[in-house]
């Protein structure tokens, strides 16, 4: 039996042995790209195709006739707001428009999170007793399940439980029940996002700091530069490329924000773009949902372009 199997298999191995380098390379990557064609490329193309059709709420399949860019026009002009669970873009109601809420969360979270991540990276890069334990502790927030990240802050801001809600309300920061107030909940979602992303960006920055040539600091020390000057003149310019990459990943991830919202304030209180897609999908409006998904992807692409252009400029000067 075993011999028979070997006889059947060995010609295949022989063929693989005789392939040239290029064909061998293609052979090895083909399974991955075969799988990804079905699970990634096909769905992406089909989402684009769906977004060009009409919603069919009465037929057997939720996708109706070809309407071209009609869905996009409806969404961007605000005409679609009436059928959506929350408006896509409405300056009159900034905390209930998906695009504004998502951009606000992303900008504030990335700005504060990156600065704090930089601070954490500098601190954890120093040699000190127990650094290993400190590193282990600080990567916990990033690694725990998203649903628990949301749940933690849901419990932290429950008015009947939390010792913080009342003092914060007295100070005028929050209302009495922040988790049902869109503005307060947006702030809470930003807090969660910062809390869980600091370790992520700090780790990336630490890798950048680790690769800086130590001699630069020795020279600066001899020249009498203070720690602050060393940071401004050596550390910051040297880690700039890594910082940009970290910020791009951070931004992409914040633009997709969904799970922590669902597990804390809920999608009706903080309607992010992903929330809007899921809710529209649940209303059986597949075409409109697909169009919003693609607009989200385009918005993210534009932001990444801005990063890359800014990086090129900063690099050139």
Partner 1 sequence: MSEQEYSGLTGRIVQYTIQNSADVYRLGFWVGLVSFIMITLFPFYWLLVLAVTPDNQLYQMGVVPENFNIGVFATVVQEYPLHHYIFNSILIATITVIVCITLGSLAGYAFGRVDFPGKGPLLVLLLIISYFPGIAFLIPLFELLTGSLSILGTPTPDLYNTPWGMVFPFTMLSLPITIFILTTFYSQIPDGLEDAARVEGTTRLGALFRVIMPLSAPGVVTAAIIVFIGVYREFFFSFIMTDGSPENWAVLVYGILNFQQQHTQMYNMMAAASLIGIIPIAVLVIIAQEHIVRGLTAGGLKE
**Residues between 107 and 136 with contacts to partner 1, criterion CB under 8 A:** 119-120, 123, 126, 128, 132, 134-136
Q: How far is the CB of 252 from partner 1 (least distance, A)?
A: 6
Of 76-84, 89-97, 106-114, 196-204: span binding partner 1 (CB under 8 A): 196-204
Contact residue for partner 1 among 54, 169, 220, 256 (CB under 8 A): 256
Cα–Cα dist 190/175, whole Å: 17
Please list every residue from 146 through 165 that binds partner 1, using CB under 8 A. Answer: 146-148, 151-156, 158, 160-163
Shortest approach of partner 1 to residue 92 CB, angstroms?
26
d(CA 177, CA 185): 9
With binding defined as CB under 8 A, does residue 89 bind partner 1?
A: no
Judged by CB under 8 A, the residue of 101, 189, 293, 303 near partner 1 is 293
What part of residues 229-248 is at the interface with partner 1 (CB under 8 A)?
A: 242, 245-246
* CB of 142 vs partner 1, minimal distance in Å: 8
Q: Please count the residues of this chain forming the interface with partner 1, following the rule CB under 8 A.
A: 95
Of 68, 69, 115, 145, the one binding partner 1 (CB under 8 A) is 145
Q: Which is nearer to partner 1, 91 or 128 (CB)?
A: 128
- Applying CB under 8 A, among 87, 113, 141, 178 the residue interacting with partner 1 is 141
Site string for partner 1, 298-317 (x = CB under 8 A): --xx--x-------------
Residue 47 contacts partner 1 per CB under 8 A: yes
Q: How far is CA 198 from CA 140, 232, 254, in A?
A: 11, 21, 12
Out of 226, 232, 310, 314, the residue judged to bind partner 1 by CB under 8 A: 226
Q: Which of 84, 118, 204, 239 binds partner 1 (CB under 8 A)?
A: 204
3-state secondary structure the chain: CHHHHHHHHHHHHHHHHHCCHHHHHHHHHHHHHHHHHHHHHHHHHHHHHHHCEEECCCCCCCEEEECCCHHHHHHHHCHHHHCCCCCCCCCCCHHHCHHHHHHHHHHHHHHHHHHHHHHHHHHHHCCCCCHHHHHHHHHHHHHCCHHHHHHHHHHHCCCCCCCCHHHHHHCCCCCCCHHHCHHHHHHHHHHHHHHHHHHHHHHHHHHHHHCCCHHHHHHHHHCCCCHHHHHHHHHHHHHHHHHHHHHHHHHHHHHCCCHHHHHCCCCCCCCCHHHHHHHHHHCCCHHHHHHHHHHHHHHHHHHHHHHHHHHHHHHHC
**Residues 54-83 contacting partner 1, CB under 8 A:** 61
Within positions 90 to 109, which residues make up the interface with partner 1, using CB under 8 A? none
Any contact of residue 170 with partner 1 (CB under 8 A)? no
Report the residue number, 135 or 183, with the smaller CB distance to partner 1: 135
Q: Which of 175, 181, 210, 305 is nearest to 252 (CA)?
A: 305
21 binds partner 1 (CB under 8 A): yes
- Residue 15 found at the interface with partner 1 (CB under 8 A): no
Per-residue tokens: 100: 């504004």
d(CA 29, CA 139) in angstroms, rounded, equals 33
**Closest CB 222 distance from partner 1, rounded Å:** 17
**Which residue in 6, 40, 213, 233 binds partner 1 (CB under 8 A)?**
40
Q: Does 144 bind partner 1 (CB under 8 A)?
A: yes
């Amino acid at each position: 039996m075993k011999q028979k199997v070997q006889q059947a298999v060995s010609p295949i191995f022989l063929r693989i042995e005789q392939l040239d380098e290029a064909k061998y390379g293609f052979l090895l990557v083909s399974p991955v790209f075969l799988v990804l064609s079905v699970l990634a490329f096909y769905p992406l193309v089909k989402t684009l195709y769906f977004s060009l059709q009409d919603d069919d709420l009465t037929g057997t399949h939720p996708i109706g006739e070809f309407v071209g860019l009609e869905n996009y026009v409806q969404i961007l002009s605000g005409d679609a707001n009436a059928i959506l669970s929350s408006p896509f873009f409405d300056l009159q109601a900034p905390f209930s428009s998906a695009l504004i809420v998502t951009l606000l969360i992303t900008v504030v979270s990335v700005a504060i999170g990156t600065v704090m991540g930089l601070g954490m990276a500098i601190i954890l890069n120093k040699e000190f007793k127990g650094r290993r334990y400190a590193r282990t502790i600080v990567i916990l927030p990033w690694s725990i399940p998203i649903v628990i990240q949301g749940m933690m802050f849901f419990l932290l801001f429950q008015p009947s439980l939390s010792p913080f809600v009342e003092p914060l309300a007295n100070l005028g920061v929050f209302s009495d029940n922040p988790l049902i107030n869109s503005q307060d909940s947006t702030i809470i979602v930003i807090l969660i996002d910062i809390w869980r992303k600091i370790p992520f960006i700090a780790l990336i920055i630490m890798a950048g700091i680790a690769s800086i040539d130590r001699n630069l600091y020795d020279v600066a020390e001899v020249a009498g530069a203070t720690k602050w000057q060393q940071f401004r003149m050596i550390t910051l310019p040297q880690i700039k490329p890594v910082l940009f990459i970290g910020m791009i990943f951070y931004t992409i991830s914040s633009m997709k924000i969904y799970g922590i919202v669902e597990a804390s304030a809920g999608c009706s209180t903080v309607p992010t773009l992903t929330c809007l897609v899921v809710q529209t999908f649940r209303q059986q409006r597949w075409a409109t949902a697909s169009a919003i998904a693609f607009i989200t992807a385009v918005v993210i692409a534009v932001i990444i372009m801005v990063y890359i252009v800014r990086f090129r400029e900063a690099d050139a000067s």
